Amino acid sequence: MLFLNLFLSLWIFLTPLQKPELEVHTIDPIIAALGNGSSNDLAKFFDSSISLNINGQQGDYSKTQAELVLRDFFKKNPSQGFSILYQNENQGSISTYIGEYLSSPGNFKVFIKVSQTQSAYKIYSLDFVKN
């Protein structure tokens, strides 16, 4: 009985307290990735497949393929900043954002469509249209 009490006491003492997780409902990491021109950081938020349109060149890509296409785009159009111009957020479903990607070769309007699953944003459509 003493052993059982000792075991339970140690288990309670050593088990970390469970704190409720804070749900993060923000696309700030996506905005940061676009502002930095980082295809690697942006790809972390891609759904398993993504519709990608870069100035009329449209296709459906896997996460890995889309990252490679964007890496080439960011290389040819280095980022000078990104800002959100419009947002239509619907918690727990589909949200749409329109932003402006600034680059020395030219600026682009960016249309981002995300779905929200388990408190995580997943980009399923991304369009870059040159101004």
Rounded to an integer, what distance in angstroms lies between the CA atom of residue 40 and that of residue 129? 21
Contact (CB, 8 A) for 79 and 128: no
Residue 70 structural domain: 25-130
Per-residue pLDDT of the chain (131 residues; tens, 9 = 90+): 655 555 556 545 555 544 333 334 578 999 999 999 999 999 999 999 999 999 999 999 999 999 999 999 999 999 999 999 999 988 778 999 999 999 999 999 999 999 987 768 899 999 999 99
Rounded to an integer, what distance in angstroms lies between the CA atom of residue 96 and that of residue 121? 11
Burial class of 63 by CB neighbour count within 10 A (0 to 12, 13 to 18, 19+): middle
Instruction: Specify the pLDDT at position 39.
Output: 97
User: Is residue 6 a part of any domain in this protein?
Assistant: no
H helix or E strand, kind and range, residue 10: helix 2-14
* Nearest CA-CA partner of 62 in 129, 113, 124: 124
* CATH number reported for the structural domain that contains residue 39 in this entry: 3.10.450.50
pTM: 0.78
Q: How many domains does the chain have?
A: 1
One-letter amino acid at 101 equals Y
Which tokens go with 24? 């993060």
Instruction: Specify the pLDDT at position 77.
Output: 97
User: Is residue 19 a part of any domain in this protein?
Assistant: no
State how beta strands 46-54 and 120-130 pair.
parallel
User: Is residue 1 a part of any domain in this protein?
Assistant: no
